[in-house]
Structure 1
Amino acid sequence: MKKTLLLILIPIFSLAQNGEFNSLEEALQNPKTVIELNLSEQGLSEIPKEIFQFKNLQKLNLKKNIISEIDTLLFELKNLTYLNLSRNKISELPAQIQKLQELEHFSISYNELTQLPEGICELTSLEKLYIQNNKITDLPLEIGELKQLIKLYASKNVLAFLPPSFNELSNLRALKLKSNNLYKISDVIGGLRRLQLLELSNNQFDDYEQGRIKIQTPNNCKIIWE
């Protein structure tokens, strides 16, 4: 019995030692040690205010809750490199997101957003942005400022066009845009010379535009039309 109990406790202790927590109560015992906090699938209707005590927090997972509003105090956690808010009920992303200058991975997919704030373009460390399955009508005009962006998943929104600065996302490797209202993008993707995957099914491209897109993308880029 003692051996069994010991085997159960070792992994929990190890997680805490590494600064990784799956329980808010355990994390609050020593706030300064909290590096990673996973509160997914907790039935949360708001972001717990206790989280704002974790000044050294780098990774925060709040996916699959029922959060409808983002407390702007979240953006005071300036060491965050990973933030997952996917599968909630969020309809607005505050402009203060621009404060998270260390953020590399941001997911706010499967929510109820209709737009992104221009401030998101100031996240110059951002490498992965997941905004699929929202109701976003257009992307910020200065999205090309995200020079480190490698992945952009924006499928299942209501995008009709991409802004001219999109052409400046020169590090982009994977771009998913399926199930939008796009009819022309060939004029803003010529600069994506590292693109390896382009997903475009269920849009409004005619044969001529499809041909133009093929010309503008690298030879080794896989294009998914269906």
Structure 2
Amino acid sequence: MANAVTRVVLRCEDAQETNNLDLSECQLMQVPDAVYHLMRHTELKRCNLSGNVITKIPPKFAVKFSLITELNLSHNQMSKLPEELAELQALERLDISHNTFIALPPVTCRIPQLKRLLANNNSIIDIDVERLRHAPALEFIDLQANPLTARMHDLLGTLTRIKIELSPRQVEEWEDLTI
């Protein structure tokens, strides 16, 4: 346990120099309050929380780290994001891949500068395509390895402004007329 705490503190100290907080692979279940305290005088640009067991990001995250441009939340156990992430005015790249999302979090469509969204390898079956269509800056979204329905594939195909990566659509059994 002490090692994990020391690692987090050392990485926070590094971030004070680099403005890049890397808390990946720290066995975190959440962002420790100490992190907000240690980083209070640092203008964080990037934050990597990948490879932990985080289930949720607290609303204050967006308030404390309001200037970040990249946020990596991949390889965690998240199924939702706080609405407050829409307040991240500078966030351009968000990675929520390899989590447990079953729907694309609505807030992702309201982050003003978000250009790249990685949401591959989740359990996403539902996407509000209209909301996606009105995302202010979104240019690219990776939705590979999600169990999207045929209808969802077709709807996503109507989005012309956003480049969308999808896994090849699985033909449903009832569609396979060779049986």
**TM norm structure 1:** 0.61
- Separation in 1, partners of 2:165, 2:52: 30
* SS of structure 2 residue aligned to 1:142: helix
The one-letter code matched in structure 1 to 2:102 is T
Unaligned runs of 5+ in 2: 1-6, 173-179
Does the 8 A contact of 1:85 with 1:107 survive in 2? yes
Show the counterpart of 2:131. Answer: 142
The one-letter code matched in structure 2 to 1:82 is E
* SS of structure 2 residue aligned to 1:25: helix
CA distance 1:190–1:136, change in 2 (3 Å)? closer
CA distance 1:107–1:32, change in 2 (3 Å)? same
The one-letter code matched in structure 1 to 2:135 is L
* SS of structure 2 residue aligned to 1:63: coil
What pairs up with 1:1-226 in 2 under 5 angstroms?
A: 24-26=8-10, 28=12, 33=17, 35-53=19-37, 54=39, 55-76=42-63, 77-140=65-128, 141-158=130-147, 180-183=148-151, 185-186=153-154, 189=157, 192=160, 195=163, 199-204=166-171
Cα shift readout 1:160-183 (whole Å, capped 9, x = no counterpart):
xxxxxxxxxxxxxxxxxxxx3224
* SS of structure 2 residue aligned to 1:83: strand
Higher RCO, 1 or 2 (CA under 8 Å, sep at least 6)? Answer: 2
CA distance 1:119–1:29, change in 2 (3 Å)? closer
Does the 8 A contact of 2:74 with 2:96 survive in 1? yes
Q: CA RMSD in A?
A: 2.8
Show the counterpart of 1:218. Answer: none
- Give the drift of 1:27: 5.4
- Separation in 2, partners of 1:112, 1:132: 10
Query: If you compute each CA radius of gyration, which structure gives the higher value, 1 or 2?
Result: 1
* SS of structure 1 residue aligned to 2:21: strand
- Give the drift of 1:60: 0.3
- Separation in 1, partners of 2:21, 2:152: 41
Show the counterpart of 2:177. Answer: none
- Separation in 1, partners of 2:69, 2:48: 11
The one-letter code matched in structure 2 to 1:203 is Q
Q: How many residues are aligned here?
A: 161
- Give the drift of 1:186: 4.9
**TM norm structure 2:** 0.75
CA distance 1:94–1:28, change in 2 (3 Å)? closer
